[in-house]
Amino acid sequence: MTQTENKSVAQDTPLVPMEKIVSLCKRRGFVYPNSEIYGGVAGIYDFGPLGVELRNNIRRYWWWSMVQTQDNVVGIEGAIITHPRVWEASGHVENFVDRLVDCKNCKRRFRLDHLPPENAERRKCPVCGGELTEPRTFNLLMETYLGVVEGDKMKTYLRGEACQNIYLDYENVLKSWPLYWLCRERSQSCRQWMPSHSCQPRTVWYSISKACLA
Ligand SMILES: [Zn+2]
């Protein structure tokens, strides 16, 4: 088949709607909408019997190929919560933010830095031409609190990056494994996903808000 014919076949193939793919994955036991009997939580899914096996296989293979078969690599798995000063020192508290605007007419939400310059300047919706609200700052870190006594709780964040604990544990790893060259980490990170974010769960349904990263 020539390149032209290939292109033509690709163009003629209708795109499968995401709803159909999600529905098939649910029937086959790969993913289920989270809390579905209570109406579900938009964009959040649980892994079903086959989905969790698939994820575990990928994790196992990654760990085997990246850590266990390498003489100079050790692995760690960091906790999901770290001291809040970690995120202040890394600049996430101050800079890990999106500036968002809403259209008063069609109710769509946009990241200010994704709008065409003339729309951002005139506060004009790029879809319907409606008026946009003042920009509001939205931090992508997910807040949580440590402690049980009200008024005495410490605000902290679920980790926004998977790699942070490699730096935090660097000295400990070096002391306990002095011959290692490289440290890999497998763990989870949490971010609040926003419309127009590069990887928001409503469009990337297989991404759970608590993404497993390495
Ligand atoms: Zn609009």
Domain 98-138 classified CATH 3.30.450?
Answer: no
Q: 3-class SS at 30?
A: coil
Q: What local confidence, expressed as pLDDT, does residue 195 receive?
A: 43
Q: Ligand 1 centroid vs 47 CA: distance in angstroms?
A: 35
Q: Ligand 1 centroid vs 121 CA: distance in angstroms?
A: 15
Q: Ligand 1 centroid vs 132 CA: distance in angstroms?
A: 8
CB 190 within 8 A of CB 210: yes
DSSP code of residue 31: E
Fold of 3-79+162-213: BirA Bifunctional Protein; domain 2 (3.30.930)
Tokens of 46: 């649980």
Q: Ligand 1 centroid vs 169 CA: distance in angstroms?
A: 47
Is the whole model's pTM more than 0.75, yes or no?
no
Q: Ligand 1 centroid vs 136 CA: distance in angstroms?
A: 17
Q: Ligand 1 centroid vs 104 CA: distance in angstroms?
A: 7
Domain ranges, ordered by start, for the chain = 3-79+162-213, 98-138
Q: Ligand 1 centroid vs 191 CA: distance in angstroms?
A: 26
Q: Ligand 1 centroid vs 131 CA: distance in angstroms?
A: 7
Tens-of-pLDDT digits for all 214 residues of the chain? 444 445 555 556 678 887 888 889 999 999 998 899 999 887 778 899 999 999 899 989 988 998 889 888 888 888 888 888 998 898 888 888 888 899 999 988 888 888 999 999 999 999 999 999 999 888 778 888 888 777 778 888 888 877 888 888 888 888 888 766 676 766 666 666 544 444 344 443 333 434 444 4
Separation between Cα atoms, residue 65 and residue 174, nearest integer Å: 22
Separation between Cα atoms, residue 127 and residue 120, nearest integer Å: 13
Q: Ligand 1 centroid vs 135 CA: distance in angstroms?
A: 15
Separation between Cα atoms, residue 34 and residue 46, nearest integer Å: 5
CA distances, 144 to each of 73, 95, 200 (Å): 33, 19, 21
Q: What local confidence, expressed as pLDDT, does residue 105 receive?
A: 93
Separation between Cα atoms, residue 168 and residue 54, nearest integer Å: 31
Judged on CB neighbours under 10 Å (0-12, 13-18, 19+), 152 is exposed
CB 146 within 8 A of CB 67: no
Q: Ligand 1 centroid vs 109 CA: distance in angstroms?
A: 8
